[in-house]
Chain A
Amino acid sequence: MLILLLTQTLLAAPVTVTVVDSTTGKKLSNAIIDCTKSSKNSTSPVTTTEEGKATIDCQTGSNQVTVFHDEYGKKQVPVTIENSTGLSMRIRLESPSFMIVEDEQQTGAITRHVVSSEELKRVPGTFGDPVRALQSLPGVARPNIAEGAIVVRGAEGINTGFYVDGMPVPYMFHTLVGRSIIIPSFIDDIEFFPGGMPSNYGEVTQAVVNVRTNTQPTEGTKAQLRLDFLDGGLALEQKINDEWTLRMAGRYSWVGGLISTASTIATRRAGGEGYEAAYLAPQYWDQFADLRYKVSSTDEISVLYLASRDTLYFSEGRYDSDGDGEPDPLAWEDADLSYNPEHWIDNQFWRTRLLWSHNDGRHSHQTWIAGGVEHQQNLLGAWWLSRQGPYRGRVGGPSVVVRRADRWTMPQWGAGSALVAGGQFTSRWFVAEDFQETFNVEDYDDIVEITTEDQQLVGSVWLEPQWQTEDWYVGLGIRGAVYSWDDQSTFEPEPRLSVRRQLPSDVLLKGAIGRYTQLPPLERYAQGIGNPSLDIMKAWQGSVGAETNLTGGLHIDSSIFGGWMQDLVVRDLEVDTYNNDDTVTTELQPYYLGVQGLAFGWEGLFRVRPSDTPWWGWISVTLSKSLRLDDAGRLFPSDYDMPISLTAVGAYDLGKSWELSARLQTTSGQPYTPFYGVYVPRDQYFTATRGDLNSERYPAFLRLDLRAQKVWSRKWVDWMLYMDIYNATARSNPFIATYNYDYSELIEIASLPIIPTIGLEVTY
């Protein structure tokens, strides 16, 4: 027995384990650690300190280190100890923090969807992008293709406002590939208001997506490298000391480079020169940096930088027609163009913000000023590619936003009560350029560009007392906004009311009503490409619902909603006539019109949250109708009218860090305007005439996405390998369709096929 004791003592090795939150890096105390070599050889468990550390004696050889935390659950990590010196290791526990939450300081937000951050990142078909996972929630329409548009409750895409840490950004998703412009590892949570926004949100009529990167403290050092076939990204978070924190990230796509390389190789193999290769390729990148300085226990100053660029680049190939061994210049290269015609789509922006945050427990405020430049260029004119941004033109310019938002706790009104107030001023100096004429010219010397300049000014103030008792919440917001644009100005009141009632049976009743206004984008009212008569968009929204928790971890959230929208901007096609002496030429051109909109429906969310069970998931259902009425009395469905929408997401933990998940999405087919064949005897062929706007529908949409991931946890580094299969059944869901020769049959032109993605995520 003594020999056995001595043997065991000689073979023991100390293992120092640091336990951290995988999302924030926060060191976790009170985590219980156990080290087991076999079922008969396990050591006494130890508990981590405030520093998240604990040292446990393991035996040399292969062991299993088990960590258990009340809030995070259990995780097992294999470790091999080679000698009695032992080793140190870090174990990351997956954060249970909710990613889509109401603003903690705005408890009156009625509509809140609460989904775990880790759930969102693991939703299949989103390429690991939690912002895209919003498309799986009720009330959110399915986008056209792989784009990441968030169209909510029957409104238009431009009626969803995007913010990063409360700072407005012109767009949230990279064009075509649909990835958000914020690298996922930096996203702490997402405020998502599908409607009923509190009074501190304005200049948007339907929904708000606020991606927050600053709600969780940064602890220590965290680095993450993420690679897949589309792009690669690196993120670094570093707490320099008690005062300074730095976060930086960058991502760059190489899919465009792969395409150009493949095209060049193919051209050379076909006997041509490399410069003759023609190809169309998307390229994108994004950058993020955030430097914070903690001035005191109550104040912090930070500087944030955010930039993004998307290009759909067309290289038409060059030729050496004069035989001098050098490729000939392209026709447009000698012209004095104000744009690059090879950039069929070119969207880019940068923002810098200086923020002062204060919170002394009774009073908090955020005061900031942000500035930047943006522009969006679209030469393709493809209606299906982008419902936002200009149609065959470019719009953009500098902008400045100044904001102050205060919150005072008012315990005398009731525990949790508060008074919220603030103001915001925005100035944009934008230029809209119409390139429609230039797109069709043969001679660049004949170029005519139509340019519109405008300075948009928006000033708003808000005041919202929030009464909170044990069972009741009432928020009465008063917001007013002054808009100045296109030599006109208007004042728009925006009252808002939200009420919640907590019933004893763990049922929460909720209701909200409010008025919202939004300025139309410059390209929609600019001369040439827009409609100068457009007015401020306005909407009244209301919703009533309930949510409850049932046994087994089941959560149910159900609401009915309605909205009436005025001067909603939609894009249609009209016939323009051009008189050239006695010949009248007609051409179909896009134009924007202001319409009234009516949307109503029911949405439900049924969830099983992650807990002790190995599986989690949710089912989201929306039954709705979205209609538009124009001044001519035309009543038609909106572009995103999908009466039935069902999404089911589920995941199963197989153990040994393997997880499988699936997402099934089915919706009504998207409306489209049909064409009818018109036989023209003179030409013995068929041309077409358009039918009623959005009077037909594509076939019902159905898509299954699958995901499998495996995590290897080593001493300091976690390796996650995943395969994400978009449209796993390769179902054809057309997003571009044309007709046969006599317009009697719809023929699909393009649909996304099965897209398997393999990615690697390395976290230090």
Chain B
Amino acid sequence: MNIGIKHCLIGIIFLTGCFRGIFSDRPKYLATEYVVNKPRIVALRSSPVEMVSGTPSTLDALLIAPKDATIEGWQVSACGLDLSSTTRTWIWDLLCFEKDDAITPLFSTPSLPYQFAVPTFPEIDSCNQWNDNMDTGLAISDTGWIEEGYYESECAHQLPIMVKAIVDGEPVFAAGFTNWYPNLPYHLRRDTTYSDAGIELNIPSQAKAGTEVSLALSIATNATYASFQWYIDAGVLLDTGITKAHQFQEATESFPHPLTTSNNRLVIPEEYEGTLRIWVVVHEPWYHDFDMTWAQGEIEVTP
């Protein structure tokens, strides 16, 4: 039974507004919530971008918070990783983390980035046959990509990772979903990630309060499909907190990498004085959750 509540009247005589907001507005878009007024983890990245059994991985996160906040530590865990199971497991939501016995702690640390060893888990023997026999079109001898130790099979678990920071005694969370390979797949060796690319945030080093300044984020890769998420200490972003690529330049002889640029405009509040921080996160939605990069800058604001 799928009840569609259309124009449901919960009106009882003399009871007006008793259930106000029960069909409340949809959540605000992040495009408008870019001022850093509370701690938030806004970006995650790992190297490699996916987990491989028994290999080292470096995990980093961008936590933005008001200037006086203190980050006391980090805890990172995975869920649904059965170290003895050979059955592929896909978990699409985070409710798994409410089952204590399904959680695998990965590490605790006072600061990030942090390198840790991915837990060792066995080969997966129940992959779909279609995946196992997928023709990649790449012959081993032709490309040389497949070297000894690397495997064609892309069979992997998909499990979530929860990142928790303690900021001024309060927990702050972020999570992502990533593939967990029993063996290193060749594409991890081949593909480049956003964090591999050079990134530069072009902002003025100084500005006066009440003025409009131009911001530009350039990344040395093809990021035409990426989202650029902007965060600031104060002010108004005239192009909102989420922008797309505004310019793209193919690799040239003088600059042998593609270059993608996204712009924004910041109006500094009249009453602001001091250091105004700016962060930009580059991420391609619905791609690798842990393939993100970011840049940070500061503007000294004078009256």
Contacts and interface: CB of A to CB of B under 8 A. Distances in A.
A278 B7 CA distance: 6
A756 B15 CA distance: 9
Contacts of A438: 1
B171 interface: yes
Interface in A728-757: 736, 738, 740-742, 744, 747-753, 755-757
Interface in B12-48: 12-22, 24, 27-28, 30, 33, 38, 40-44
A332 interface: yes
Interface in A672-701: 676-687, 689-691
Contact of B22 (A575, A736, A742, A756): A736
B175 interface: yes
B89 to A, nearest CB: 5
B93 interface: yes
Contacts of A72: none
Interface string B82-104: 00000111111111111110100
A442 interface: yes
B289 interface: yes
Contact of B1 (A282, A441, A683): A441
A259 interface: yes
A317 interface: yes
B8 A440 contact: no
A672 to B, nearest CB: 16
Contacts of B119: none
B274 to A, nearest CB: 25
A587 to B, nearest CB: 7
A681 B24 contact: no
B102 to A, nearest CB: 8
A581 to B, nearest CB: 8
A753 B99 contact: no
Given A317-B6, A742-B33, A680 B175 contact: yes
A305 interface: no
Nearest to A332: B1
A388 interface: no
B30 A582 contact: no
A229 B14 contact: yes
Nearest to A267: B7
B1 A331 contact: yes
B15 A263 contact: no
A747 B24 contact: yes
Nearest to B7: A278
B15 A678 contact: no
Given A317-B6, A755-B15, A744 B38 contact: yes
Given A687-B94, A742-B40, A756 B4 contact: no
Nearest to A439: B1
A573 B98 CA distance: 9
Contacts of B128: 582
Nearest to A264: B9
A750 B22 contact: yes
A757 B12 CA distance: 12
Contacts of A25: none
Contacts of A740: 27-28
A255 B13 contact: yes
A582 B175 contact: no
Contact of B171 (A277, A587, A676, A741): A676
Interface string B225-252: 0010100000000000010000000000
Given A316-B3, A332-B1, A588-B95, A681 B283 contact: yes
A577 interface: yes
Scoring B38, B80, B94 by chain A CB atoms within 10 A of each residue's CB, the highest score goes to B94
Contacts of A749: 19-22, 24
Contacts of B172: 676
A229 B43 contact: no
A494 B19 CA distance: 46
A196 interface: no
Given A341-B1, A682-B176, A586 B89 contact: no
Contacts of A444: 1
Interface string A340-353: 01000000000000
Interface residues of B, number: 68
A691 B44 CA distance: 22
A279 B9 contact: yes
B99 A577 contact: yes
B171 A279 contact: no
Contacts of B136: none
Contacts of B95: 575, 586-588
Contact of B91 (A259, A573, A586, A736): A586
B299 interface: no
Interface in A232-268: 255, 258-259, 262-263, 266-267
B276 interface: no
A138 to B, nearest CB: 29
A384 B194 CA distance: 47
Nearest to B288: A682
A753 B17 contact: yes
A681 B18 contact: no
A444 B3 CA distance: 13
A280 interface: yes
Interface string B125-152: 0111000000000000000000000000
A85 interface: no
A680 B161 CA distance: 10
A51 interface: no
Contact of A584 (B27, B90, B175): B90
Given A680-B175, A684-B227, A741-B27, 9 more contacts: A229-B14, A279-B9, A341-B3, A582-B126, A584-B91, A585-B92, A689-B162, A742-B27, A752-B18
Closest 10 CB pairs of A and B: A741-B27, A586-B95, A678-B173, A582-B88, A279-B9, A679-B174, A575-B98, A750-B19, A263-B9, A575-B99
Interface of A: 229, 255, 258-259, 262-263, 266-267, 277-282, 314, 316-317, 331-332, 341, 438-442, 444, 573-575, 577, 582-588, 632, 676-687, 689-691, 736, 738, 740-742, 744, 747-753, 755-757
24 contacts: A263-B9, A277-B9, A280-B10, A281-B12, A314-B3, A316-B4, A341-B1, A341-B3, A440-B2, A574-B99, A582-B89, A584-B89, A586-B91, A676-B172, A678-B174, A680-B94, A684-B30, A684-B242, A687-B93, A687-B175, A689-B162, A741-B28, A751-B18, A757-B14
